Amino acid sequence: MKVLVVGSGGREHAIVKSVKKSPKVDKIYCAPGNGGISLDAECVEINAMEFDKLADFAENNKIDLTIIGMDDPLVGGIVDVFEKKGLKVFGPRQNAAIIEGSKSFSKDLMKKYNIPTCGYEVFHSPEEALIYLEKQKFPIVIKADGLALGKGVLICNDLMEAEKAIGTLMLDKQFGDAGNTVVIEEFMTGREASVLCFCDGTHIKPMTSAQDHKRAKDGDEGLNTGGMGTFSPSPFYTPEVQAFCEENIYQATMDAMKAEGRDFVGILFVGLMLTEDGPKVLEYNCRFGDPEAQVVLPRMENDIIDVMLACVDGKLDTVDLKFEDNAAVCVVLASDGYPEHYEKGKLITGFEAFDGKDDYFCFHAGTKKTDDGIVTNGGRVLGITAKGKDLKEARKKAYDATEWISFENKYMRHDIGKAIDEA
């Protein structure tokens, strides 16, 4: 089989590495990919938003399956473009990807179908939002309705911060049209967990759980990022929590999307808050998490191609999804200054230390291949993942492996997996 993966981050590298394990696959392309992905797949210089060019490439190169890793092309309708050409593609159509593309859509869906989430209101004008905020309790959460590079969720501790957030999103339009509408939500407390689920439009199979660390600095301080590290499984996602979510959240969401005529095929990422009142949905995404994929996929026992084809063909009920009885931790090595200002083009050394070590993975996120070697090319540079018999062993191994890599301005959090000690 020939497979094309669309995207350029650590998540796409994790997908490529899983696809590479499949005996069914003899050729992998990635568009546009990155420096490290080019060592595992042939990178193609087509941007993820150039849908027609990508579909032409898939047609001309007789690609058997295209896997869309990123949110923007999915929300923009790339799957519909591929399907119109009769090409096999893994991911939700545009009318289903809206579950991530519009926060107000997903909140209204949960309300209509009684899927547990927190209270919220939707505003299309800054004036109405500001009047509402005057009477609210703080902290409160303000979300841009549309996609905002993972930075559109603002937690406001008082009215002043909330007014500033409305200014940023709705007046200054820091995230463009994504901030034309905002969702103002109750602030939930508890443990967060990310559960990625395979979906075929009717059936849904959750993978093992994970937890992300979204803030840039130790102790959950600093700005929100795409994610600075993950661990899997979450010790707080107990079998009881899972049973509740399977009945009240995962299948309920699949059924709700079907009832709306928006059958969801692909990966549904359910961001959960495990509150005192039970699990509630924080957010939905329409693709693998990044860096959740970097700890979940290395633990998956199934051939990823078998599972993805079962999703596309509507036969996910025939798949017995299995994960190794171990744990994984991913520590992101970033460029100092991320998520604001950071330098690029710094030479990275030490990759050879990972050679021949089955429990260690060096996923490339923001890297580029040059004549001098692999250099930094983004805020999140590498995802260093290790597997261990339990979370503590995996964490020690992942942090040991972060020392094998060197580059100028290397930055990481030192407390990834701190919750493991509280379990």
Q: Which helix (H) or strand (E) holds 270?
A: strand 265-275
255, 205 contact by CB (below 8 A): no
Which parts of 184-223 interact with ligand GLY (CB under 6 A)? 212
The number of beta carbons lying within 10 Å of the beta carbon of residue 221 is 9
405, 350 contact by CB (below 8 A): yes
Q: Which of 93, 292, 310, 399 is in the footprint of ligand GLY by CB under 6 A?
A: 292
DSSP class of 8:
-
Decide if residue 289 touches ligand GLY (CB under 6 A).
Answer: yes
Per-residue binder mask for ligand GLY (CB under 6 A), 142-181, x = binder = --------x-------------------------------
CA angle (366 as vertex; 286, 155 as ends), nearest 5? 55
CA distance 92 to 99: 10
CB of 93 to ligand GLY, least distance (A): 20
Q: Quick one: 201 or 226, whose CB is closer to ligand GLY?
A: 226
Decide if residue 100 touches ligand GLY (CB under 6 A).
Answer: no
Decide if residue 8 touches ligand GLY (CB under 6 A).
Answer: no
Decide if residue 285 touches ligand GLY (CB under 6 A).
Answer: yes
Decide if residue 225 touches ligand GLY (CB under 6 A).
Answer: no
CB of 226 to ligand GLY, least distance (A): 6
Q: Which of 104, 290, 302, 386 is in the footprint of ligand GLY by CB under 6 A?
A: 290
29, 40 contact by CB (below 8 A): no
Q: Quick one: 286 or 307, whose CB is closer to ligand GLY?
A: 286
CA distance 121 to 118: 10
CA distance 22 to 41: 13
DSSP three-state, residue 320:
coil
Stretch that binds ligand GLY, among 251-259, 289-297, 329-337, 365-373 (CB under 6 A): 289-297
Q: Quick one: 230 or 377, whose CB is closer to ligand GLY?
A: 230
Q: Which helix (H) or strand (E) holds 327?
A: strand 327-335
Q: Quick one: 28 or 365, whose CB is closer to ligand GLY?
A: 365
